[in-house]
Amino acid sequence: MTTGSIRRGRFGALPWIGPAVLLILVMVVWPAIEMIRTSLHEIDQTGIAKGWNGISNYRSLIHNPDLPQTLVRTLLWVSVVVVATVLISLPVAQILHGKFVGRKFVRYAIIVPWAASVVMTATIWRWMLDGFYGIFNRILQDLGILKEPLDWLGNPNSAFAFLMVVAIFVSVPFTTYVILAGLTTVPDDILEAGAIDGANGWKRYKEIIFPLLRPALLVSAVINLINVFNSFPIIWAMTGGGPGYSTDTTTTLAYKISFRDQDIGQSAAMATVNFIIILFFISIFLKVSNWREASE
């Protein structure tokens, strides 16, 4: 049909895309169905299904005393981390797009948090924030800001704030690179002109460069939205959602209910709710990215 067509075999696309489809069906679609099914079953502590029980897992989830606060916290977690990530990445990308001595080196430095295992990054932050041996307390004391060392991760509020800091820390590199890719579509003379007229610079940025960056921004924001919502290792390695349940998001809560409290039915209900939220985010992604146009 098109000039690009290769000769069709007897089975058409199947031998070519079949294996990939099969792997996705068995390892992605099946667990999703299994999870939803589990959420509608009565499951005993050893994980054995005792038959359908309608929405009663959802009912016990709603009555979980930790749920309301966790929902509010998750909303805060996702919105603060995503908005801050984008707001920080914009100027960072702008700076890294400019020419200066050592730019290449700095660009590589930014890759580190992106490439390194998030759980290991979270562990070094945990160690820096340690109440007894943390370098963070030492620095604040040397600067005269603190008199006594504080247990940053032992207090729910400061712990949650630092979890967000680390989430932003690991999200900025990817976002910066997406914006950098967007900036290469802005003609150099526009950027140069913006750089020379100091007073006019901001206006130019707002009126010319920013609109050109919009697609990159939207796409990176939605990808971050999904990643941050799903983020598990940072919370797990730094606070375990604690003290108590005070720094859990719905993602870590679902995990805790299942693998710590052994209430698999209720956990599947929580996870199914999360699943639906992610599907909703994906539909936003499809809308903002016009991916079909790009792929054809």
147-186: which residues touch other proteins (CB under 8 A)?
149, 169, 172-174, 177-178, 180-182, 185
Site for other proteins in 48-87 (CB under 8 A): none
Structural contact between residues 94 and 180, judged by C-beta atoms closer than 8 angstroms = no
Residue type, 102: G
Site for other proteins in 19-48 (CB under 8 A): 19-21, 23-24, 26-28, 30-36, 38, 47
Tokens representing 17 are 């895309």
Q: How far is CA 18 from the centre of its chain?
A: 30
Among 57, 70, 224, 227, binds other proteins (CB under 8 A): 227
Number of residues that bind other proteins (CB under 8 A): 118
Residue 116: DSSP 8-state:
S
Tokens representing 248 are 């859990």
Give min distance, CB of 202 to other proteins, in A: 14
Structural contact between residues 214 and 205, judged by C-beta atoms closer than 8 angstroms = no
Site for other proteins in 250-279 (CB under 8 A): 251, 254-255, 258-259, 264, 267-268, 271, 274-275, 278
Among 76, 87, 135, 161, binds other proteins (CB under 8 A): 135
Start-end of H helices in 98-205:
103-115, 118-128, 135-142, 156-183, 188-196, 198-204
Among 62, 72, 75, 116, binds other proteins (CB under 8 A): 116
Q: How far is CA 22 from the centre of its chain?
A: 27
Q: Return the range that interacts with other proteins (CB under 8 A); candidates 53-61, 67-75, 153-161, 221-229.
A: 221-229
